Amino acid sequence: MKYNKLRLPALLLLLCLLLSACSSGGRGEAEDANLGRWLRALAALPMSELQGNLQVFGGELTEETALAALAVRGIDSREGLLQAVAFRVSEGLRAEYLFDREMLSAYQPQELEGALAALDEAMARHYRAVLAVAERWDERGLLALDAAEAALLAQLGCRAGLLTEEEAQALGQPVAEMVLGSFASFEELLQNQVDARLVTDGLTREDPAFAALEAQAAALSAAEDPEQPVLDDGLFSEGLLPLEGMDGAALLGL
């Protein structure tokens, strides 16, 4: 088939527009829903650790990178992925934190110090980290961390071919519902995630690794594009705009 000189520039323009749309932050995200945006914002910190593009759903990670990230987490199937997301939504690491927090709250201050002194160094360090998180966040400790991991898993599942784009974005509804009403900004969410690593990574606030996490979270905020922010606090007032005909909770069996 031959194209005349007038049609060729038009076709080139159309191609450029299509390529531009594919590289934009909304690629693969439904225009009448915001669940993809929620998932990208919630997973900004762990996605940045994978060197993903935060402006794009799935971070533009290769299938190989996504599969490797899932393998590290012991996930190698669609069923395993959905189970992992369901765990983070319904229970998560916060369940153990809440148990430890409740147990520690039963001690009087003078009794607690004596009880911690009787433990080995690793256990005492763990419980002191729980106390540090509880002092700032109370029952919200580790909540944003579980939401961030669930949001990351949804995107990894999409990039690894275990979920369709629609299925992955639908998971944004139960994941975002975890944090709505508990936080008012993504700056607060990021700090909650960073503080949770005191417990999960066995850190103290004086450790260089903790300072590095704080710096990474600060860098995410500093790198925001005001025209297309990933950590868009407007999502909190906007609420959830779900995908029509898709039920993320049902997909997780919740």
pLDDT digits (tens, 9 = 90+) for 48-75: 999 999 999 999 999 999 999 999 999 9
Tell me the domain boundaries of the chain.
32-224
pLDDT band at 24 (very low <50, low <70, confident <90, very high): very low
> Is residue 252's pLDDT more than 60?
yes
Containing 235, the helix (H) or strand (E) segment is helix 234-238
Helix segments in 4-141, DSSP class H: 7-23, 35-42, 44-49, 63-72, 78-90, 94-105, 109-117, 121-137
CA angle in degrees (0–180, nearest 5) for 19-20-25: 120
Per DSSP, 204 falls in state: -
pTM of the model: 0.88
CA-to-CA distance for 36 and 153, rounded, in angstroms?
A: 13
- Residue 60 tokens read as 């533009």
